[in-house]
């Protein structure tokens, strides 16, 4: 019961401030003071109080997009264990459901973008589809690295089977899984070097261009869903890197610290790296797939824990 409450509290309170933390890290690196860490929360509250405008060319798909995106991210966040090795809402084979929940959200975001009939949004949707198709194998291969030793396709079993001592060198595949999942996180959450969340030039952006026509509460839903997506992928990363205990007060503390670490790392990457050229992004994602594939191979050569 308490575990469930902690889980829900974390997934309500953390995602948006994490985005604020990234922006704060970026502003410090650039020598600015930067917006408050809670700025994304203020933005969402402001958006929720507004009304929405719908174009006459759009259909129910356009309205459904943000809602489904938010709902699927929320479900995914319920499945992944947060401040414990087991999730109160986990079930056998939830790894697959997790990956496809992200897929469903992406599909509806893309459909909503296409529904507007805008050429720019169609371009964004096409890019999103192309990169997601490359990021998904990397995600699956990286999750395989933790799932195969556990002989189970559920997050709870997989995370519980990661040995606690020894950091990232607990077994050699783990390091590769972390690297590859890190790239997936950057791609799925549309961060630099795959996409730039701050750009407002339609020709170069991917995620932002798909949601150009959404306003008011719809846009707020998209923002929350996006933050949640970043949050859940970050949670998986944290579990790979840090030995989160199964219970006790240390677990939430370690988890929050780990997530802050993820946000700060992403912020540092964004401060010191430029966005990759669009034609170079597939190379980056294929690289992540290959790294994860090597990790899976390593498992079968006796590198097994």
Q: Which one, 162 or 298, has the nearer CB to another protein?
A: 298
Q: Which one, 124 or 295, has the nearer CB to another protein?
A: 295
**What per-residue string of b and e applies to 234-255 under the rule 16 or more CB within 10 Å gives b?**
bbbbbbbbbbbeeeeeebbebb
The answer to the question of residue 286 lying near another protein (CB under 8 A) is yes
Q: Which one, 40 or 172, has the nearer CB to another protein?
A: 172
The answer to the question of residue 133 lying near another protein (CB under 8 A) is no
Length of the chain: 305
Compute the distance between CA of residue 173 and CA of residue 303 in angstroms, rounded to an integer: 8
Task: Give residue for tokens 């219970």.
Answer: 247
Kindly state the number of chain residues that form the binding site for another protein, as judged by CB under 8 A: 18
- Of 236-255, binders to another protein (CB under 8 A) are none
The answer to the question of residue 287 lying near another protein (CB under 8 A) is yes
Least Å distance, CB 156 to another protein, is: 27
Compute the distance between CA of residue 165 and CA of residue 90 in angstroms, rounded to an integer: 25
The answer to the question of residue 302 lying near another protein (CB under 8 A) is yes
Q: Which one, 42 or 300, has the nearer CB to another protein?
A: 300
Q: Which one, 31 or 302, has the nearer CB to another protein?
A: 302
> Of residues 4, 38, 283, 305, which one binds another protein by CB under 8 A?
283
Token digits of residue 182: 């890190």
- Of 149-208, binders to another protein (CB under 8 A) are 169, 172, 175-176
What does the binding site for another protein look like in residue numbers (CB under 8 A)? 169, 172, 175-176, 282-283, 286-287, 290-291, 293-294, 297-298, 300-303
């Amino acid at each position: 019961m308490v575990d469930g409450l902690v889980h829900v509290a974390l997934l309500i309170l953390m995602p948006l401030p994490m985005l604020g933390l990234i922006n704060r890290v970026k502003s410090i690196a650039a020598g600015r003071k930067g917006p408050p860490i809670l700025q994304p929360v203020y933005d969402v509250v402001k958006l929720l109080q507004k009304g929405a405008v719908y174009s006459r060319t759009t259909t129910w798909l356009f309205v459904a997009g943000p809602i489904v995106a938010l709902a699927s991210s929320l479900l995914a966040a319920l499945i992944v264990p947060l401040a414990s090795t087991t999730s109160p809402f986990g079930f056998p084979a939830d790894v697959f459901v997790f990956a496809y929940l992200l897929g469903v959200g992406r599909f509806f975001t893309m459909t909503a973008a296409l529904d507007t009939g805008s050429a720019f949004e169609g371009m964004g949707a096409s890019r999103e589809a192309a990169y997601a198709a490359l990021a998904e194998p990397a995600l699956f291969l990286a999750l395989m690295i933790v799932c195969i030793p556990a002989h189970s396709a559920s997050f709870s079993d997989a995370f519980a089977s990661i040995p606690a001592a020894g950091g990232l060198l607990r077994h050699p595949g783990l390091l590769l899984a972390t690297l590859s999942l890190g790239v997936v996180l950057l791609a799925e959450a549309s961060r630099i070097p795959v996409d730039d969340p701050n750009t407002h030039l339609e020709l170069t952006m991917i995620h932002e261009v798909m949601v150009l026509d959404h306003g008011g509460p719809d846009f707020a839903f998209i923002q929350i869903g996006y933050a949640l997506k970043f949050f859940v992928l970050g949670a998986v990363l944290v579990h790979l890197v840090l030995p989160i205990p199964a219970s006790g007060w240390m677990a939430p503390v370690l988890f929050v610290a780990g997530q802050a670490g993820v946000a700060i790392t992403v912020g540092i990457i964004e401060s010191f790296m430029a966005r990759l050229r669009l034609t170079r992004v597939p190379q980056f994602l294929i690289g992540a797939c290959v790294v994860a594939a090597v990790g899976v191979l390593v498992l079968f050569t006796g590198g097994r824990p």
